[in-house]
Amino acid sequence: MKGYLITFEGPDGAGKTTVINELIKQLPKEIQKKTIITREPGGSKISENIRTIILDPANKEMDDRTEALLYAAQRSQHVSEVIRPALAAGKIVLSDRFIDSSLAYQGVGRDLGVEEVKQINDFGTGGLEPDLTIFLDLDPATGLARIEKERAGQEDRLEQEKLAFHKKVYAGYTDLLKRYPDRIKKVDANLPIEEVAANSVKIIRKQLPDIFM
């Protein structure tokens, strides 16, 4: 069986990590065995080191272009070291964030331009695109409120950005939904985690039925 890359996107606080962990429990056992979970920024030793630099609240002086390039660099390593080998082995890769995060956060949120950010990421990944992207839809203000409740005072550098920035990011995601309607599917992240995961599984079954054969 060919491998599949399924990515999960959404504003900060949408619950991507929790949903992925719940979703995998709802998959048939034989599919669980050939599924790996990874994340961005991160997913490999080098990429995790870059993650620390990107998200460290102390790095307030980081230039927007530097931020975009660091995200692209960690993604390049992540794809080379983890994702492509897994796909070649016929694995199902569930990634907590991927290129769409850069397009929304740096392309739109930082006003660097979606096409410009896409170019540096395509160079880094060799043009790898997800087979399916699940967008966990949540109002950015609600997401930030969740984060403040769960880990007040421990927010990372991006989470500490003001609501206006996160609203721009959300608008960027909205544009991506229109740009890639066949690949990006929306799930209401206001629902209980079990329902969000179940709805995500339904989408995977519909969009990528070969996985379940």
What digits encode the pLDDT tens for the residues 78-129? Answer: 999 999 999 999 999 999 999 999 999 999 999 999 999 999 999 999 999 9
Label residues 3-38 b or e (16+ Cβ within 10 Å = b): bbbbbbbbbbbbbbeebbebbbeebeeeeeebbbbb
Is 12 part of any known ligand binding site? yes
Domain count, the chain: 1
Residue-level pLDDT at 1: 75
Report yes or no: 125 and 76 within 8 Å, Cβ to Cβ. yes
Is 178 part of any known ligand binding site? no
Is 127 part of any known ligand binding site? no
Is 16 part of any known ligand binding site? yes
CATH of the domain at 14: 3.40.50.300
Mean pLDDT of 33-37: 97
Mean pLDDT of 180-203: 98
Is 14 part of any known ligand binding site? yes
**Cα 114–chain centre separation:** 16
Measured distance CA(169)–CA(140) in Å, rounded: 9
Predicted TM-score (pTM) of the model is 0.96
Domain that holds residue 8: 4-212
What digits encode the pLDDT tens for the residues 132-175? Answer: 999 999 999 999 999 888 877 788 899 888 999 999 999 999 99
Q: Pick from 183, 32, 15: which is nearest to 94 by CA? A: 32
Q: How high does pLDDT run on average in the chain?
A: 97
Residue-level pLDDT at 153: 72
